[in-house]
């Protein structure tokens, strides 16, 4: 799983990395709510998007576990 940081230009347009553009193609759909969104090629089935989201969810859950472990380790380190 790869994580990208995407910034907008002064006109408010977002630049997607070339590897993403090559993978997704020239036409995209975006579904979003207040805190997250999903981008996928136009015409992708809802089932395929859901299956991809399951993979992304597992990755995010793993990242949460790692963050908790890291915080726990920091809490248990002796102070100098």
Are 19 and 31 members of one domain?
A: yes
User: Does 5 fall in a domain?
Assistant: no
Q: Model's pTM, two decimal places? A: 0.76
DSSP-based three-state secondary structure for 52 = helix
User: pLDDT for 31-78, tens place per residue?
Assistant: 999 999 999 999 999 999 999 999 999 999 999 999 999 999 988 888
Instruction: Verify that 49 and 80 share a domain, yes or no.
Output: yes
Domain count, the chain: 2
Q: How far, rounded to the nearest angstrom, does the alpha carbon of residue 14 sit from its chain's CA centroid? A: 15
Q: Which two tokens stand for residue 19?
A: 């590897």
What residue numbers bound the domain in which 51 lies? 45-80
pLDDT for res 57: 96
- Cross-strand partners of 28: 41
Residues 39 and 52 in one domain: no
């Amino acid at each position: 799983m790869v994580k990208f940081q995407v910034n907008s230009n002064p006109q408010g347009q977002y630049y997607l990395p070339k590897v993403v553009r090559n993978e997704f193609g020239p036409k995209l759909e975006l579904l979003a709510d207040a805190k997250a969104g999903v981008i996928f090629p136009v015409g992708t089935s809802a089932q395929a998007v859901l299956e991809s989201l399951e993979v992304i969810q597992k990755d995010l859950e793993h990242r949460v576990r790692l963050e908790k472990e890291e915080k726990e380790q920091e809490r248990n380190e002796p102070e100098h």
